[in-house]
Chain A
Amino acid sequence: MTPPSEYLIELRNVGKHFGGVVALADVSLHIKQGEIYGLIGPNGAGKTTLFNVVTGLYQLDSGAFDFAGKRYTHCKPHLLAQAGIARTFQNIRLFANMSALENIMVGRHLRTHTGIWGALTRHAAARAEERATVQRARELLDYVGIDRAHQTLAKHLSYGEQRRLEIARALATEPKLLALDEPAAGMNATETVALKALLQKIRASGITVLLIEHDVKLIMGLCDRVAVLDYGKKIAEGVPEEVRRDKAVIAAYLGGEVA
Chain B
Amino acid sequence: MKINLNSKLFNAPIAIALLALPFIIDALFGHGWVRITDFALLYIMLALGLNIVVGYAGLLDLGYIAFFAVGAYTYALLGSPQFGLHWPMVVTLPLGALIACGFGVLLGAPTLKLRGDYLAIVTLGFGEIIRIFLNNLNAPVNITNGPQGISAIDPLQIGSFSFGNSYEWMGMRVDDVHLHYYLFLAFTLLVIFVSRRLEDSRIGRAWVAIREDEVAASAMGVNTRNIKLLAFAMGATFGGISGGLFAGFQGFVSPESFSLMESIMVLCMVVLGGMGNVGGVVLGGVILVALPELFRNAAGPVQQALLGKVVVDPESLRMLMFGLALILVMLWRPAGLWPSTQRRREFDADDGVLQQEQETVYDASK
Q: Known contacts A106-B205, A116-B203, A119-B202; is A94 also within 8 Å of B216 by CB?
A: yes
- Residues from chain B with a CB closer than 8 A to the CB of A28 are none
Partner of B203, one of A76, A86, A107, A114: A114
Instruction: Give the contacts of B198-213 with A (CB-CB under 8 A).
Output: 198, 201-206, 208-209, 212-213
Q: What chain A residues lie within 8 Å of B205 (beta carbons)? A: 98, 102, 105-106, 109
Q: Which of A77, A94, A98, A119 contacts B201 (CB 8 A)?
A: A119
Name the distance in Å between B43's Cβ and chain A's nearest Cβ.
Answer: 23
Q: Give chain A nearest CB distance to B310 CB in angstroms.
A: 48
Q: Mark out the residues of chain A between 181 and 215 whose CB falls within 8 Å of any chain B CB in the assembled complex.
A: none
- Between B201, B212, B216, B343, the greatest number of chain A beta carbons within 10 A of the residue's beta carbon is seen for B216
- Chain B residues, Cβ within 8 Å of A71: none
Are A76 and B220 touching (Cβ within 8 A)? no
Q: Are B355 and A156 interface neighbours, CB within 8 A? A: yes
Interface positions of A from 88 to 125, Cβ below 8 Å from B: 89, 93-98, 102, 105-112, 114-116, 118-120, 122
* Set A78, A95, A118: member contacting B213, Cβ < 8 A: A95
Question: Is residue A169 within 8 Å, beta carbon to beta carbon, of the partner chain?
Answer: yes
Q: Is the CB of B208 within 8 A of A119?
A: no
Nearest chain-B residue to A175 (Cβ)? B221
Q: Is B217 an interface residue (CB 8 A)?
A: yes
- Does chain A have a CB within 8 A of B197? yes
> Which listed segment binds A: B79-87, B109-117, B150-158, B222-230?
B222-230
CB of B301 within 8 Å of the partner chain? no
Name the A residues within 8 Å of B356 (CB-CB): 156, 158
Shortest CB distance B302–A (Å): 43
Give the number of residues in A that approach B within 8 Å (Cβ atoms): 45
A153 at the interface (CB under 8 A from B): yes
Q: A98–B208 contact, CB under 8 A? A: yes
Residues of B282-308 whose CB lies within 8 A of A: none
Q: Which residue of B lies closest to A154 (CB)?
A: B212
Pick from A55, A98, A158: contact of B209, CB below 8 A: A98
Asked if A55 and B355 make an inter-chain contact with CB atoms under 8 angstroms apart, the answer reads no
Contact among A107, A114, A116, A158 with B230 in the assembled complex (CB-CB below 8 Å): A116
* Chain A residues near B352 (CB-CB < 8 A): 153, 155-157
List residues of chain A with CB within 8 A of the CB of B212. 94-98
Separation of A114 and B215 alpha carbons in the complex (Å): 22
In the complex, which residues of chain A have a beta carbon less than 8 angstroms from the beta carbon of B198? Answer: 116, 119-120
CA of A78 to CA of B206 in the docked complex: distance in angstroms?
Answer: 12
Q: Are A77 and B208 interface neighbours, CB within 8 A?
A: no
Q: When the two chains form the complex, which single residue of A78, A82, A89 contacts B224, counting CB atoms closer than 8 Å?
A: A78
Q: Which residues of A contact B215 (CB under 8 A)?
A: 57, 77, 93
B218 close to A78 (CB less than 8 A): yes
Q: Is the CB of A119 within 8 A of B197?
A: yes
Chain A residue at smallest Cβ distance from B204: A119
Whether A97 lies near B213 (C-beta < 8 A) is no
Which residues of B have CB within 8 Å of A102?
205, 208
Which chain A residue lies CB-closest to B346? A97
Q: Enumerate chain A residues within 8 angstroms of B206, measured Cβ to Cβ.
A: 106, 109
Residues of B within 8 A of A57 (CB): 215, 218-219
Per-position 1/0 for A143-160, Cβ under 8 A of B: 000000000010111100
- A112 — which chain B residues lie within 8 A by C-beta? 202
Contacts of B220 in A (CB 8 A): 81, 86, 106-107, 109-110, 169-170, 172-173
Interchain CA distance A130-B221 in the complex, whole Å? 17
User: Using a CB–CB distance below 8 Å, which chain A residues touch chain B?
Assistant: 55-57, 76-78, 81-82, 86-87, 89, 93-98, 102, 105-112, 114-116, 118-120, 122, 129-130, 133, 153, 155-158, 169-170, 172-173
Can you report 11 residue pairs joining A to B where beta carbons are below 8 Å apart?
A55-B219, A77-B215, A77-B218, A78-B223, A89-B219, A97-B345, A98-B209, A115-B202, A119-B203, A133-B202, A158-B356
B: residues with CB less than 8 A from A are 194, 197-198, 201-206, 208-209, 212-213, 215-224, 230, 234, 342-343, 345-346, 352, 355-356, 360
